[in-house]
Amino acid sequence: MKAKLTGTSSILIVKDVTISAEYYRDKLGFNIVELQNKPNGFAMVKRNEFILMFVNAPPEKITPNWKIVDKTSNVYFWVDDAETLYKEFIDNGADIDYSLYNTPYGMKEFGISDPDEYDISFGEILK
């Protein structure tokens, strides 16, 4: 019998874990589960059953994926209601990177830009 994977988490390298954690809490509705700003800086945020982790690094070490490969997110979340989530994020003042639209590959999708310029995308499978 093979072992079962039970979860996953992306780790984003950021300038300031406190700023990132608070942005994800205040603008995107995540809860801060852990925040250690000193000495190395580490944070975890959670929404529903999904966790993102942050670690501090010098700004010159941070390179969002879209700066390497155009239109490539750092994190992609599948959601059950993209339109409602999009409206929530707008109401919360999130920085919308690209507006809600129907993709040619069968998703209703949008993206936000976080304080480190990471593109975080959210998509609902169109039926």
Could you tell me the residue ranges of all domains in the chain? 10-58+70-125
Residue whose pair of structure tokens reads 């499978």 in the numeric block: 125
Other residues' Cβ atoms within 10 Å of the Cβ of residue 23 = 21
Question: At residue 126, does pLDDT exceed 90?
Answer: yes
Mean pLDDT value across residues 2-28: 95
Mean pLDDT value across residues 86-112: 97
What per-residue confidence (pLDDT) applies to 40? 79
Give the helix/strand (H/E) hosting 69: none
Phi, psi values for residue 18, rounded to 5°: -65, -45
Phi/psi-derived region of residue 21, left when phi > 0, alpha when psi is between -120 and 50, beta in every other case: alpha
Fold type of domain 10-58+70-125: 2,3-Dihydroxybiphenyl 1,2-Dioxygenase; domain 1 (3.10.180)
Q: Give the tens place of pLDDT for each residue, 44-86.
A: 999 999 999 999 999 898 999 999 998 899 999 999 999 999 9
